[in-house]
Structure 1
Amino acid sequence: MHHRFALLSAAAVITVTLAPASAEAHAVRPKPAQRAAADTAAERRQVLTYWTEGRMEAARPLQAPAPKTRTADEPEQGAPFAREAQAARTPGEAWTGGGAVARTTGRIFFTTATGRNSSCSGTAVTSANKSVVLTAGHCVKMNGAFHTNWVFVPGYDRGSRPFGTWPATRLLTTPQWNAREDVGFDVAAAVVAPVDGRTLVDAVGGQGVAFNQPRRQQLYAFGYPALAPYDGSKLIHCSGRAFDDFMGSDDLVLTCNMTGGSSGGPWMLNFNESTGLGTQNSVNSFKYSFAPDWMLGPYFGNEAQAVYQSAQTANAL
C-alpha cells in the first residue's frame, strides 16, 4: 500500500472569492463541521499560559492517516513517477524576501485528544471579521477528535513571536474531512480572538483567497516544516507549476521537499515576490511515501469556500 504522511500583513489585500463558472459550482455549498474552542476570556488566558516557549519548541508534527483513494493491490503503477519526482528534486528554501507573507503566514500549535502537543502552519486571510486563519483539516481535527489549546503565531521566527499568539475561538472543517478524514477535503479554518483590542488582519494584514480556479497554475507554497532537514524555526517556500495527482485523488501536486509541520501552509496564486501578497488557493496537505518531493494540496472548491464563508461571518469572541 502507498502510505502518505502529513506535512504535516501590514497591508491587507482585497479578498478574492471568485464566482464559480459552472452550474455545478453554483450548487448549495455543504455546511462545514464546527466546534467551539477557547470561546471565553478565561479559557483563552489558560491557553496562552499553556504555550510556553519550551512547549512550542517540543511540539512535533502529526502523522496523518493514509489516503482512502487507493487500495493495497494498486501500488506499482506509481513507481516510474516516483523516479521522476526524485529526478526533479527542488528543495524548499528559506523565505528571505520579507513582505506580507512573512507576517500573514505562521505556525499553529495545538494539543491532540491523546495529549500530544503538535504543530502545523496557517495563514491570515482577509475576511469580514478580520479574524480567519486557513489551514489543513488535520490541523484542527484528527482521529475523530478536534484539537485543543489551538493557537496561531504569525511571523514565527526562530522562537520569536513578533505579532503575538492568537487563540482560536472556533474551529471549522469540511464535512468530508469531519466524517471520514478524506484527504481531498483536508481544509480547515480557525476564527481567532482579538489580541490587545486588535483583530488578526488589523495586526498583520491578510492574503486574498479564491475558489473554483483553473488547475495546473504557477503557485508558491509556504510553511514551517519541523522535521529534518528543517526544524520549524523559519518560514520555508517552494514554487512551481502544479500538476494533477495521478494516484486518483482530486488534489494538486507541487514538487517541494517541505516536511511535517508545513501542513496547512498556503499555496498562492499570482504571488508577488516584492510585496509578499498573493491569493491563497490550497494548503500543504500530505505526501506519498514513495514520492517525498511531491507535496499535495486539496482543490479549493465549494467545500473549502463554505468553510471560509462560515468562518468569516462568525463572531470572533
Structure 2
Amino acid sequence: MSAPLRRGRRTVLTATGLVAALALTATACGGSEKDQASDKPDATTSGTAGSDGGTVQIPSDIADKLKEHGIDVDKWKDGGWEDWDKDTWLREAKDFVNPVIEGLWKPERMRSAEEADKTVSTKDASASEGVSDPEPAPVEAQAEKTPYHDNAAPVGKVFFDSPEGPSVCSGTVIKDVNHPGRSNLVWTAGHCVHAGGNGGWYRNLVFVPAYNDLGKSGTELGNANASEVAPYGNWWADWASTSNGWIQGGSESGGDGAPYDYAVLHVKPEQGSKSLEETVGAALDVDFSAPSAAEAGQMGAWGYPAAPPYNGLQMFKCLDAPGRFSLSPGLPTMYRIGCTMTGGSSGGGWFRVQDGETVLVSNTSIGPTDNTWLAGPQLGEDAEALYQNMSKTYGGQ
C-alpha cells in the first residue's frame, strides 16, 4: 500500500554509467483547470516575533490579511494560530498567511516534529492494475555523506504545524529563472503545505537547508550549536503555492490529488538579508518536460525519513530507474521507484541528469505502508505555470 509521506557552489548529479550509481555532489499533465486556484497565490510577507512570550511584531499587511479572515492579531501572536477549527481553517489558494515567529523552531522543537505521512492501501494500489508497471524491488536507502553542505547543499527539511502538532517534510532549493543567482524558492510536496480536500493551509512553515549538517545523533545534537543544526539558518515561507488539484482532491491516502501533489514556497530568512541561493550556494533547475518513465532514465530521491526505522535526523537517498504508477486508470500516471525511505522524506526532490546537469524532475508524494517504494508526480505544464507565477509575482521580493 502507499501513502503520501509527510509528518558560490555548483551542485550536480554525477552519473557512473547512470546504471550503477548516482551521487549528488557539490563542487564550490493533465488538468490545467486543476491548477488555476494556485496560479494566484495571494499571501503575505512574514513579520518577526519573539519566542517564549516575547514581543511579536506583525507588519500591517499581514495584520490586515488576518483581520480579513476574522482573525484577532493579538490572539494569533499569543498562540491563536493553534486554533484549528475546521470552520475557520483557511484553505483557499489566496488564503495563505505565515507570519514569522522568531525562535519558534528551536532545535528541540524540530526534533519533536513527526513525519507527515500519506499511505495508500493495497486495495488502492491494486485498483491501478493495467496502468501501473510491476511493483519495483525495494532499494535500500543510503545515508548521504557529511557534511551535507558539501554533498547535498540544496536539500533540507520543511517544518510546519498541523492540527496534530509539529510536523516535518523534505524540500529542495530550486533556481528562479526570472531572478538568476538569487532564488528564494523551495520545491516540496503539496501535502507538506496544505491538508487537501478536508483541511487547509498548515502554519509556521519553515525550510532548513542541510539540516543537521554533520549527521549527528539525537544525543549529540543535544550539545550541538546552531550552525550544526541549521548551518544556513531558518527560512520562513512568506508565500506558498500548490495545485488546486491537491487542494480539492488530496486525501490521507493521496487520493485524486496525488498526481498534483507538489508545491513551491517563497522563503525569507529569519535573520539576514541575502537570498536563499546566495546563502546556500546551490540551487537546481526544474525539468517540466514530464518525460515518460521509460524515457526518464535513472532517478535519485533525497530526503530526511523520520518514521521508523529512521528518526528524521539524517539525510538519505535512493537510486533507481522509475516505472509508472497510478491510483486510478482515470488519473495521470506518477513515477515510482524502489526505496525504503519512510514518512518525513515526503516533498524531497527527485533528481536526474539532463544534458550533463542535475535537474529536479519530481518529489516524493506517496509510498506503501511496508516502505518498499515511493511515487512522485510528473511535472508538466500545470506545474510549470504554478512555478512561473510564483517566480514572476513574488520571486524578486
* TM superposition score category, shorter chain reference: 0.7 to 0.9
Partner in structure 1 of residue 171 of structure 2: 122
How far 1:31 sits from its partner (Å)? 2.9
Distance 1:124 1:76, change over 3 A: closer
Partner in structure 1 of residue 364 of structure 2: 284
Deviations, residues 249-281 of structure 1 (Å, cap 9, x unaligned): 511001011100000000001089xx9x61000
C-alpha distance in 1, partners of 2:35/2:233? 34
Deviations, residues 278-308 of structure 1 (Å, cap 9, x unaligned): 100000111133x631100001011211221
How far 1:219 sits from its partner (Å)? 0.6
Taking only the aligned residue pairs, the percentage that are identical comes to: 27
How far 1:54 sits from its partner (Å)? 1.2
Deviations, residues 113-162 of structure 1 (Å, cap 9, x unaligned): x2511000000011034110000000110142101100000001245111
Partner in structure 1 of residue 10 of structure 2: 11
How far 1:40 sits from its partner (Å)? 3.0
Distance 1:96 1:193, change over 3 A: same
Partner in structure 2 of residue 174 of structure 1: 243
* 2:102 equivalent to 1:48: yes
Consecutive unaligned residues in structure 2, runs of 5 or more: 13-28, 49-56, 59-97, 222-228, 251-256
Distance 1:100 1:213, change over 3 A: farther
Query: TM-score, with normalisation over the residues of structure 2?
Result: 0.66
**Helix, strand or coil at the partner of 1:151:** strand
Deviations, residues 44-100 of structure 1 (Å, cap 9, x unaligned): 884231111111000001233758xx769949999x956xx4xx2221011117566
C-alpha distance in 1, partners of 2:343/2:203? 19
Partner in structure 1 of residue 186 of structure 2: 133
Deviations, residues 191-228 of structure 1 (Å, cap 9, x unaligned): 00144110001111211111023222211110011111
RMSD: 3.4
Partner in structure 2 of residue 91 of structure 1: 140
**Helix, strand or coil at the partner of 2:382:** helix
C-alpha distance in 2, partners of 1:305/1:30? 10
The amino acid across from 1:31 in the alignment is Q
C-alpha distance in 1, partners of 2:298/2:172? 19
Distance 1:169 1:226, change over 3 A: same
Of the three residues 292, 307, 310, the one matched with 1:215 is 292
Query: TM-score, with normalisation over the residues of structure 1?
Result: 0.81
C-alpha distance in 2, partners of 1:75/1:246? 6
Consecutive unaligned residues in structure 1, runs of 5 or more: 14-23
Of the three residues 23, 30, 36, the one matched with 1:31 is 36
Partner in structure 2 of residue 229 of structure 1: 309
Partner in structure 2 of residue 18 of structure 1: none
Tell me if the contact between 2:35 and 2:245 (Cα under 8 Å) persists in the aligned partners.
Answer: no
- Report the count of equivalent residues: 295
Distance 1:65 1:265, change over 3 A: same
Tell me if the contact between 1:37 and 1:150 (Cα under 8 Å) persists in the aligned partners.
Answer: no
C-alpha distance in 2, partners of 1:101/1:188? 24
C-alpha distance in 2, partners of 1:244/1:73? 13
C-alpha distance in 1, partners of 2:150/2:241? 25
* 2:101 equivalent to 1:62: no
The amino acid across from 2:237 in the alignment is A
How far 1:36 sits from its partner (Å)? 2.2
C-alpha distance in 2, partners of 1:53/1:110? 14
C-alpha distance in 2, partners of 1:190/1:294? 26
**Helix, strand or coil at the partner of 1:47:** coil
The amino acid across from 2:278 in the alignment is D
Tell me if the contact between 1:48 and 1:167 (Cα under 8 Å) persists in the aligned partners.
Answer: no
Partner in structure 2 of residue 20 of structure 1: none
From the CA coordinates, give the structure whose radius of gyration is larger.
2
